[in-house]
A and B are shown apart, each in its own frame.
Chain A
Amino acid sequence: MATVQVSEAEKVYILHGVRDDLRVDGRGCEDYRHMEIETDVVSNTDGSAKVSLGHTDVLVGVKAEIGKPRPMVPHEGYLEFFVDCSANATPEFEGRGGDELGVELSNTLYKVFNNRSSIDLKSLCISPGEHCWVLYVDVLLLQCDGNLFDAISVAIKAALFNTKIPKVHLSENEEGGKEIELSDDPYDCMRLNVENVPCIVTLCKVGYRHVVDATLQEKACSVASLIISVTHKGTITCVRKVGGGSLDPESIFETTETGKRVGKALHAPLMELLQKEENLGKKRPKVGFLG
């Protein structure tokens, strides 16, 4: 991941600040940076969202395609994730530089989102055992300025909210052969219930405390961080530790509690915002990539 060089003196300065709940950019330990969200930014996709968090910029597109259900779960559709660490985001991603990070990110995303408690996978089924919708979630990192997980998770939630899957129905003939028929009306489409889709909160251990939404400098002062996915009810669905350092059990407990609190608080304004945008309909001025 993108790193910055931080001198010893700077480290001390940051550490002391965090200790006193005052971060370099003036935030408290549980504060996010300024976040901007816009949905329906890529017309080629079935759902898309662009999220910028500080200078971190993420674009998520969702494409729905018809596929075959997995044999173990014939009544469910599924999601596929791909994270593209574009060299635009940071020079370190040049060549194959971003591959490792991309795989790590997408593995986490599978764990967090591709399960029936986050999304009603049954609603993606068209005919059991034969056809289901596969949602290809493509994440494109446009700019890296720390805290990718949180930004990506918010963007995914927004993109899934925005996703419109064309309605299809199965027609059957006497012989039992099935045929997928597409609705003639382009407005006739299915929406996903994203109520239970979790958001990820990354907590970085800096000194003896932990901070939400760490900048690259803060990250450089930290040896380990905890990735926690939280639903709108405050249920933790997934916890992962990243980074080389160790965490003592007591602080893990403390950290998850913070994560729960912060995550829960994140959902309500997000949903409110998405709903508001949706209601604007065609009148919404599009910002796109120029904003």
Chain B
Amino acid sequence: MKSIANEDLIGSKSMPHGNDVCQGPSSHSLNKKVTALVVEDNVVNQMIHKRLLSNLGIETQVVENGKEAVDLHHSGAVFDLILMDMEMPIMNGPEATRVLRAMGVRSKIVGVTAYSGDYEKRVFMDAGLDDYYEKPLTMAKLVSLLQELVDNN
């Protein structure tokens, strides 16, 4: 995977200590690991998304609603990729996305949604997503969006 050299993607440098750091492949000169935040209230999906990401050598943190994601960013965390569930208690995906964008967060934010109508998808995209995928996330979808992440930087 090419290095993420874009200055926006500070990655693990300013990320608070995450849980189980996975020593994935680092085949690039700048040696920056891709970092990801999973924002998801369903524990089964948390486990799956975390494993999907870790298997690709991505340093992953998990929070269970939009507000926790926002708080994390307020405390200075930066991630290359944010996987944002749509429906969550306290603060849902679209709202959290709006708040993060308003804060100036320019990470790639990908909505992960259970099948929902076009209207809900539009609302979610309009909140500031870069893309969305239908749940459940698969390795193929993840590799595809990570490739975009790398290509766009």
A and B from one complex: no
B residues bordering A, Cβ < 8 Å?
none
